[in-house]
Structures are given as C-alpha cells and as structure tokens.
Amino acid sequence: MGMMHAAPLIGCGTALITPFTTAGALDEPALRALVEWQVSEGIDFLVPCGSTGEAATLDMQEYLRVVAITAEVAAGRVPVIGGAASNDTRKAIALSMAVIDAGATHLLHASPMYSRPPQRGIVAHFRAIADAVSVPVVLYNVPSRTAGNMEAATTLTLAAHPNIVAMKEASGNIPQIEEILRNRPDGFTVLSGDDAVTVQLISHGANGVISVVSNVVPRAMRELTHALLRRDLNTASRIDGTLQPLYHASGVESNPIPIKAAMYLLGRAANVLRLPLVPLADEHLATVRASLVAAGALPS
C-alpha cells in the first residue's frame, strides 16, 4: 500500500493505443515514440492496456511488455495506470501483480464483463483486488462493454476503501455521476470515461478525463481539461469547438478502430488491429481526416 498517498489523479490521461507492425506484431519503437511524445506534450498520466489498447487481444508477454515500455519511457514523469481487468477475480489479482511488477504505479479495473454479478458481487470483486495489491486502484464503469452498470451506491461503498482512489465513469448517466460527485470521500477523484461529455462532467465537479482522442491531440486535450478545471470557460469552449468533430469521428465505429486510422493518418502507427477488430471502413476515412484538420492535427 506504499503508493496510497501519491498525488491524486487529476487532468488528462491517455488511454494509449497499442501500435502493431504491418505484420501484426507489437511495434515497440512506435510505442516508445508515442509515450515520449505524449509526455512531452504535457499529458498528466498514461493508461496502457485498456480497451483502447486492445488488451483483449494481447498475449501475456506482449501485455506486460506494453506496460513495461510505457513505464520505462515515462520514467516517473507521469503516473502509469495499467489496465488489469478480468471477470475472474483471481485472474484479475494475478494480472494486477504482474502489471505492478512491469512498472505500473496504479491499476485500472473495469467492472466484470459477461458474468453480470449483482452489485454486492461487484463490491466483493473490487475489494478483493484492492486488498491484494500494493498500488492504488481506479474503478472503471463502462456498461456498454460490460453489460452491467455500477450503481452510484456501489461506487461510493468502494470509494471508502483506502486503496481505491478514483473512478473512470463512462456510463453516460449524468444523475448517477452527480450522485457520486456529491457524496464521494475527500481525495477520491472522478474522471470522465468519454471524451464527448468531459466538459459537462468537469463542470459538475469531475477531476479530469481518461481520453481516447488525446492519442491524437494530447496537448489540446490537456489544455481543454486544465482550462475546465480552472473555470476558464472561454479557452475551454474554443478548444472544445475544434475537437467536437474528432469526438464524433472517434465513435463512427467501435473504439479503437477510428483512432487507429487517425494515428495512421498522422504517421504515428500502422492502421493494424487484431481480429475481431478490423481497420476502419473506407467510407469513414474522410470523416476522420476532416476531424484531424479541424483539430489542427493535420494541415488542411
């Protein structure tokens, strides 16, 4: 539990893509370059091996390599929140231990998918993980992927655990998120799990975002987040306006299909995904390209 008193997770973190070579292997040089660029652009923290990182299709060796490279390149400059989710609690704990050994400073744990435990099962799952690990845990509620919502009461029960320090909320349920924000304990941070509602959530008191589009525009997303946190709404709405097309484009097919195409257009990664994910449908490429121009990431 040595890290529990680390600085709270505030600002913009990137849910990193995992670059693959055209042959389909882990592209280590591209990953190193991506992490270095993210840190140099001022990103506040990094999240390897989430759904954006195609964690579900990495083998164990690759998975831990991604975390290790991210931690090595970050070199203590920003926190590294390693994804370690599983719908088997024992497996989640074992994976957590390995991810910590690989260099993660925090863990991101989505609520268990497919199994559909009741709320008390979700509480038991996360408590077992938080009791077993030596670094702080970030909860992740993403009902669209897990087929189960974490109710506000569940999140607040878990927030009382000394080793559960933050929540990534991607339910889209604003009253639920407001209830968490109203009743959370001191030091428990709430992060938007969806780029498009970041402005709304931070205006209600959330502390930041774990972003997909910051793969492409880390500096702009960081500046947006920090403008919102300091209530500089003029700056925030100006930046948000330029990013609206990118939020939309990032959702034209399942994440991370569009963001991988965007990274390809920027020359930062091959447009390669692992089955069952497939590259972006051709009819959407113009939308993604135009959104990059609108965001200032590509020349018009």
Q: What's the pTM value of the predicted model, to 2 decimals?
A: 0.96
Choosing from 63, 91, 114, 168, which is the catalytic residue? 168
In our burial notation (b when 16+ CB lie closer than 10 A, e otherwise), range 222-258 reads bbbbbbbbeeeeeebeebbebbebbbebbbbbebbbb
Q: Which residues contact 20 (CB under 8 A, 6 or more apart)?
A: 26, 27, 269, 270, 272, 273, 274
Q: Which helix (H) or strand (E) holds 286?
A: helix 285-294
Q: How far apart are CA 277 and CA 262, in angstroms?
A: 16
**pLDDT classification of 1: cutoffs 50, 70, 90:** very low
Supply the pLDDT for residue 39.
Answer: 98
Closest CA to 49 of 37, 59, 39, 38: 59
Q: Which residue's structure tokens are 């040089």?
A: 29
Question: Strand, helix or coil at 20?
Answer: strand
| Catalytic site includes residue 168 | yes
Q: What does the domain layout of the chain look like in residue ranges?
A: 11-232
Please determine, looking at this structure, whether the domain spanning 11-232 carries the CATH number 3.20.20.70: yes
List, for residues 65-85, the tens digit of each pLDDT value: 999 999 999 999 999 999 999
For a pLDDT cut of 70, what percent of the chain falls above it?
Answer: 98
| Catalytic site includes residue 247 | no
Choosing from 140, 247, 260, 264, which is the catalytic residue? 140
List, for residues 228-244, the tens digit of each pLDDT value: 999 999 999 999 999 99
Cβ-contact 230, 70 below 8 angstroms = no
